[in-house]
Amino acid sequence: MASSIHERFADLPDPRRAQGRRHCLSDMIVLAVCAVICAAESWSDVVDFAKAKLKWFKTFLELPHGVPSQDTFERVFSRLDPDAFEHAFIQWTKALSGSSGGQLIAIDGKKLRRSFAHAWNQSAATHLVSAYVSANHTVFAQLAVEAKENEIVAIPKLLELLDLRGATVTIDAMGCQKAIAEKIVQAKADYVLAVKENQPHLHEKATALMMDVALDHAKSGQKHSDGADGTARYGFAETVEKDHGRIETRRVLVTNQVEGLGDIAEQWPGLGSIARVESIRDVDGKVSRENRLYISSIKDCDAQRMGQIIRGHWGIENQLHYVLDVSFDEDRSRLRKGHAAENFGRIRRIALNLLRRDTTKKRGIKGKRLNAAWDHDYLLKLLTG
């Protein structure tokens, strides 16, 4: 019972001295994961939950000294090596959901807004960067951004942890960096990177190029255009969604004529195409427009596919960050000592992966958590699959 979690984390280095150690680290992880699945939001919640379920836990965990105290949980997880914990987390995720290779991998960061020690220094709040595969709704990796660093430093470290072969990696404008693009290409993967004013020269050139392509498209009126050599020059796709008084039109224009960027095209490893997404929102007659630019190593002009990739990236916001805030109340967590915020965040993501993996309950995450808290058999099913 609960063997997959217990076994995968059994070799995790324990930060405590062997002398006087009363509680097994892997047991503590199982207790914490079960408690968080069942709506625990703090170490005191974890302890209360474990004590209430002690008789049941003892059917598959030894727990010779009962449930660890709140101080023990806080001390151990604040000192637990987050890199070692992440390595074990990735190995467990691979065993649970398979490799991330060949998938659409969205990478984005999230700040734990209340994980600061002093209100006058909120910049010290923990910032986590996650890799999310929307196809199976799974968090594959997570790293914390070190103090006085930013996502540009953390993203390459995160990429090194992942199996990227054949995958398409999407990152917002913060990750639009030549070194990051090169790392993705070297890993035999494709990238789609958002372009904003943090890359002013590239943004200016890409904007001008896509305006020219848009004029060509307007003149021809065709969904795609071939050059003199018969190869595709640009592609166009449009989708319209209507819902409760809102009409949203998305127009995707893609060109592989990257030489139109001039010398800058050669500076970006593997650059194969430029895309522009125009979003037009009509909400009860009030219309707004937004244009977004992207660079990609994908060399074809399949605008429909590009639109699906770009929309897929937002799964990390809607299906991960939003759920962690609404269902797990992550933004209100005040854990901040040592590595506690990062490691508890990893516990939340383990719990979320287990909840998302189950398809027997036709309920949302909140409903599944309630069912797990009420029903031992369902909680055990989540743990063991």
For 331-358, give the DSSP string.
GG----STTHHHHHHHHHHHHHHHHHH-
User: Which whole number is the average pLDDT over 127-136?
Assistant: 86
Residues composing the chain? 385
Looking at the structure, do residues 204 and 297 belong to the same domain, yes or no?
Answer: yes
Looking at the structure, do residues 224 and 285 belong to the same domain, yes or no?
Answer: yes
Looking at the structure, do residues 260 and 218 belong to the same domain, yes or no?
Answer: yes
**Model pTM?**
0.85
pLDDT value at 111 more than 90: no
Q: Answer for the pair 25, 9: CB distance below 8 angstroms, yes or no.
A: yes
Q: Note the pLDDT of residue 56.
A: 95
Looking at the structure, do residues 18 and 88 belong to the same domain, yes or no?
Answer: yes
Q: Note the pLDDT of residue 146.
A: 65
Rounded CA separation 10/16 (Å) = 15
Is residue 40 a part of any domain in this protein? yes
Domain boundary among 301, 320, 344: 301
Identify which of 45, 25, 184 has the alpha carbon closest to the alpha carbon of residue 104.
Answer: 184
Rounded CA separation 382/2 (Å) = 9
Is residue 368 a part of any domain in this protein? yes
Domain boundary among 282, 301, 320: 301
Identify which of 131, 132, 128 has the alpha carbon closest to the alpha carbon of residue 143.
Answer: 128
184's torsion region: left (phi>0), alpha (psi -120 to 50) or beta?
alpha
Identify which of 266, 256, 254 has the alpha carbon closest to the alpha carbon of residue 202.
Answer: 266
181, 298, 355 from 137: Cα distances, Å: 24, 24, 10
Confidence of residue 119 (pLDDT cuts 50, 70, 90): very low
Name beta bridge partners: 383.
Answer: none
Q: How many angstroms from the chain centroid is the CA of residue 188?
A: 20
Looking at the structure, do residues 276 and 356 belong to the same domain, yes or no?
Answer: no
User: Which whole number is the average pLDDT over 169-193?
Assistant: 95
Looking at the structure, do residues 227 and 283 belong to the same domain, yes or no?
Answer: yes
Looking at the structure, do residues 345 and 297 belong to the same domain, yes or no?
Answer: no
Q: Containing domain of residue 249, as a range?
A: 200-301
Looking at the structure, do residues 297 and 340 belong to the same domain, yes or no?
Answer: no
Identify which of 189, 97, 80 has the alpha carbon closest to the alpha carbon of residue 140.
Answer: 97
Give the percent of the chain with pLDDT over 70: 91
Is residue 165 a part of any domain in this protein? no
Q: Note the pLDDT of residue 320.
A: 87
Residue 111 parent element (H or E): strand 104-111
Q: How many angstroms from the chain centroid is the CA of residue 74?
A: 26
Is residue 357 a part of any domain in this protein? yes
pLDDT value at 383 more than 90: no
50, 244, 356 from 2: Cα distances, Å: 15, 44, 17
Looking at the structure, do residues 239 and 281 belong to the same domain, yes or no?
Answer: yes
Q: Note the pLDDT of residue 116.
A: 45
Which pairing describes strands 232-243 and 224-226: parallel, antiparallel, or unpaired?
A: antiparallel
DSSP state of 123: G
Burial class (CB in 10 A: 0-12, 13-18, 19+), 96: middle
Q: What is the number of structural domains in the chain?
A: 2
For residue 344, give both structure tokens: 């508890």
User: Which whole number is the average pLDDT over 49-66?
Assistant: 94
Is residue 129 a part of any domain in this protein? no
Is residue 120 a part of any domain in this protein? no
Q: Note the pLDDT of residue 251.
A: 94
Q: Answer for the pair 189, 167: CB distance below 8 angstroms, yes or no.
A: yes
Looking at the structure, do residues 225 and 267 belong to the same domain, yes or no?
Answer: yes
Q: Answer for the pair 37, 372: CB distance below 8 angstroms, yes or no.
A: yes
pLDDT value at 25 more than 80: yes
Is residue 147 a part of any domain in this protein? no
Is residue 20 a part of any domain in this protein? yes
Looking at the structure, do residues 265 and 341 belong to the same domain, yes or no?
Answer: no
Confidence of residue 1 (pLDDT cuts 50, 70, 90): very low
Dihedral of alpha carbons 44, 45, 48, 51, sign: negative
Identify which of 178, 183, 234 has the alpha carbon closest to the alpha carbon of residue 201.
Answer: 178
For residue 277, give both structure tokens: 């997404």
Burial class (CB in 10 A: 0-12, 13-18, 19+), 308: middle
Question: CA Rg, the chain, in Å?
Answer: 24
Q: Answer for the pair 125, 115: CB distance below 8 angstroms, yes or no.
A: yes
In this structure, of 70-84, 103-117, 301-315, the range with the lowest mean pLDDT score is: 103-117
Q: Answer for the pair 156, 180: CB distance below 8 angstroms, yes or no.
A: yes
Q: Answer for the pair 195, 201: CB distance below 8 angstroms, yes or no.
A: no
The three-state (H, E, C) secondary structure of 209-266, written as one string: HHHHHHHHHHHHCCCEEECCCCCEEEEEEEEEEEECCEEEEEEEEEECCHHHHCCHHH
